Chains A and B, each alone.
Chain A
């Protein structure tokens, strides 16, 4: 007896190992100290020593970045690809340092939120909430504290697996972050909670580009079919609410631009509407990463066949 789902992959999603953390306590201390005494630029400077090490010797990290780099820069030589890997790691490190600096209040970052405010205005006054779709690009984690100012004080819930994302979990739980966390480990009940919250006018935030073990759909991305999680648009379809995708680009040392793409609710009477909506999201994500190719931190081979 099988549930053959035309929307999702027929095979069950593979269990993902817990991602391996990089760096150690001493390394983090160096970054914190550099940040404290030399500011952002000093802390960034350390990255130019650390990132080449990972780009040269960390085979897992190189492979993870390579899946993306091969698609975004298909004609790169091996040497150019290694340099691109290094540049990608440096940029990711800068965004992580920014997150740390933001958390401890060392730096006042500037956020260009015009696009998001425009999208927020389009959603204002609607009885249903919306799914906020985040992607592993730029300073996506820095965007979270700003959501409360951009969403008419609607409560925000984050779908988040604590075991998979312990650092992010600690970040959104910290201080007065004020986010409600929905755990996918609750199974069907978490679906009910997400739909109910959306129908009550709340916001549910879901990562749109990494499945974390949930079911996926294959849609074109950077020239090949890639597997994206279907959950965000499936839940939006059940709740009959729109989806707002947010992309946060680092545009300067202390500046970010928040870009938004708004998607209408997938048609409830057409299950394939979920796949079509995911394809539109992948198009938007591709458009963003082609403009900011070194701000895509999707270190997961979403184009490859899932491991059994």
Chain B
């Protein structure tokens, strides 16, 4: 595993933990959240208020902000896309 993959794996793990805590996902462990499951409209079944919470998680725990709606549309898809975005922002 190279450095990028290792960093991404760590981000995903941390991200899942924060999502469970902040979104109050009951009876869900980090292992049960698949990296490529859709976050909205299926998968985790999140809604727009949860999207607000994810914005807060990204700001508070990863120090990153999404300022563009188109970027947001791409990033708010899966844990993978969120982690990629965080990695790009924090390792630029």
Task: Give A contacts to B, CB under 8 Å.
Answer: 1-8, 12, 184, 186-193, 195-196, 199-200, 214-215, 230-231, 234-235, 237-238, 268-269, 271
Contact = CB atoms under 8 A, between A and B. Distances in A.
A234 B24 contact: no
A187 B51 contact: yes
Interface of B: 22-28, 32, 39-41, 44-56, 59-60, 65-73, 76
A215 B52 CA distance: 12
B69 A3 contact: no
A189 B72 contact: yes
Contacts of B65: 196, 199
Contact of B76 (A1, A2, A8, A188): A188
Contacts of B26: 2, 4
Q: Top 7 nearest A-B pairs by Cβ distance?
A: A192-B72, A188-B51, A193-B69, A189-B73, A191-B51, A188-B76, A234-B52
Given A1-B25, A193-B72, A188 B67 contact: no
B84 to A, nearest CB: 16
Among B26, B53, B55, find the residue whose CB has the most chain A CB atoms closer than 10 A: B55
A269 B70 CA distance: 27
Nearest to A236: B52
B92 to A, nearest CB: 19
13 contacts: A1-B44, A3-B44, A187-B48, A187-B51, A188-B51, A191-B51, A191-B52, A193-B72, A196-B69, A199-B67, A234-B49, A234-B53, A237-B52
Contacts of B66: 192, 195-196
Given A3-B44, A3-B45, A3-B50, A191 B25 contact: no
Contacts of B56: 237-238, 268
A214 B49 CA distance: 8
B49 A7 contact: yes
A192 B76 contact: yes
B60 A231 contact: no
Contacts of B54: 188
B24 A238 contact: no
B48 A215 contact: yes
A266 B76 CA distance: 23
Contacts of B55: 191-192, 195, 238
A231 B48 contact: yes
Given A195-B66, A235-B52, 11 more contacts: A1-B27, A1-B28, A7-B49, A8-B49, A188-B54, A196-B65, A196-B72, A199-B67, A268-B60, A269-B60, A271-B22
B25 A188 contact: no
A66 to B, nearest CB: 30
A198 B22 CA distance: 22
Contacts of B45: 1-3
B40 A187 contact: yes
A32 B39 CA distance: 50
A188 B49 contact: no
Contact of B24 (A3, A188, A196): A3
Nearest to A193: B69
Contacts of B51: 187-188, 191-192
Contact of B68 (A12, A186, A190, A196): A196
Among B22, B23, B52, B72, find the residue whose CB has the most chain A CB atoms closer than 10 A: B52
Nearest to B68: A196
A276 to B, nearest CB: 16
Nearest to A214: B48
Among B40, B48, B51, B59, find the residue whose CB has the most chain A CB atoms closer than 10 A: B48
